[in-house]
Amino acid sequence: MIPVKLRMRYSKLGKVRFVSHRDGARLWERALRRVSFPVAYTEGFTPRPKLSFGMALPTGAESVAEYIDIDLVAGVTIDIQDPAVVEGLSTALPVGMDVQMIAERDPARGSLQTEVTSTTWELAGPGIEPELLESAARRILAADELFVERERKGQRRTDDVRPLIRDLGPDSSGTRFVAELNTVGRALRPSELALAAFPGIDPVDIRVLRTHQWTDHDGERREIISLPNASEALDESLSA
């Protein structure tokens, strides 16, 4: 069957992390035009490519698990298993943005915005020692409430974000803080978690990396697109 809806997983690493979500969408449009990718367009006076993205990655954060949905022109054949398709798109994108895998999207499934139920993040930086990681995780997980101050529509407010934290703790090396955060409702930003976990450390000095985006489907928790060599790719990005 010829796929008419595609879902792509890609990375966003290095200097391109400072490109905003909106500008990142423009980079995708430009790359798809550059390789003459058969994207379907909306109708009307100002046709737009039929692209949709998941939860916006905070500017300054990196990721090895970003996604884009693309509608194709009806009847067009594309071999999504052909490495040249992935390589061509990666070459057309800026350095640091690389397509990792292309899959056919089930039309019966929801959008990325509705499918993703949680995301996994890794936080690392100077001053975050193993003992600090462990004590911060114990303190937060043992708490019934965790309040952070936020600004919304020009108003300051205090929210309890503890229900948004599924799990957290040091990774196996003891050098990175791993957190799985719920995305339903108003999500907890990694920078907000960093302030709560490490109050004495400037969040600007903390490296933030999104490693997974999860969905709960038929009672099973799984990645939107799972990579066969995900652990190797993650290790490479973290050592860069």
Strand residues in the chain grouped as ranges (E):
5-12, 51-53, 62-71, 97-104, 118-124, 147-152, 155-160, 165-170, 177-182, 207-217, 220-223
Task: Report how far residue 223's alpha carbon sits from residue 101's, in angstroms, rounded to the nearest whole number.
Answer: 13
> In the block, which residue shows the tokens 């367009």?
41
Are 105 and 122 members of one domain?
no
Find all residues with CB under 8 Å of 99, minimum gap 6, and list them: 8, 9, 10, 86, 89, 90, 93
Last residue of a domain, one of 98, 113, 128: 113
Assess whether 128 and 176 both reside in one domain.
yes
- Whether 177 and 226 map to the same domain: the answer is yes
Same domain, 186 and 228: yes
pLDDT of residue 227: 85
- Is residue 233 scored above 60 in pLDDT? no
Same-domain check for residues 89 and 163: no
Q: Across all residues in the chain, what is the average pLDDT?
A: 90
Of 64, 94, 113, the last residue of a domain is 113
Closest by CA to 195, choosing from 127, 139, 126, 149, is 149
Chain segment 175-212, per-residue pLDDT in tens:
899 999 999 877 899 999 999 999 888 888 899 999 99
**Domain boundary residue, one of 62, 93, 113:** 113
H-assigned helices in the chain: 21-34, 83-92, 112-115, 130-142, 190-197, 230-239
Share of the chain above pLDDT 90, in %: 65
Per-residue pLDDT of 15-46, as tens digits, reads 999 999 999 999 999 999 999 999 999 998 89
Q: What pLDDT, on a 0 to 100 scale, did the predictor assign at position 235?
A: 57
Binning pLDDT at 50, 70 and 90, where does residue 3 land?
A: low
Q: Which domain holds residue 161?
A: 116-235
Higher pLDDT: 113 or 96? It is 96
Same domain, 107 and 170: no
pLDDT average, residue stretch 216-221: 83
Question: Hey, what's the torsion of the CAs at 200, 201, 203, 206, to 10 degrees?
Answer: -150
Task: Identify whether 93 is part of a domain.
Answer: yes
Report which listed range, 83-97, 118-132, 218-232, is most confident. Answer: 83-97
Same domain, residue pair 159 and 221: yes
pLDDT of residue 2: 53
User: Which range has the worst mean pLDDT, 2-11, 52-61, 83-92, 110-119?
Assistant: 2-11
What pLDDT does 144 receive?
95
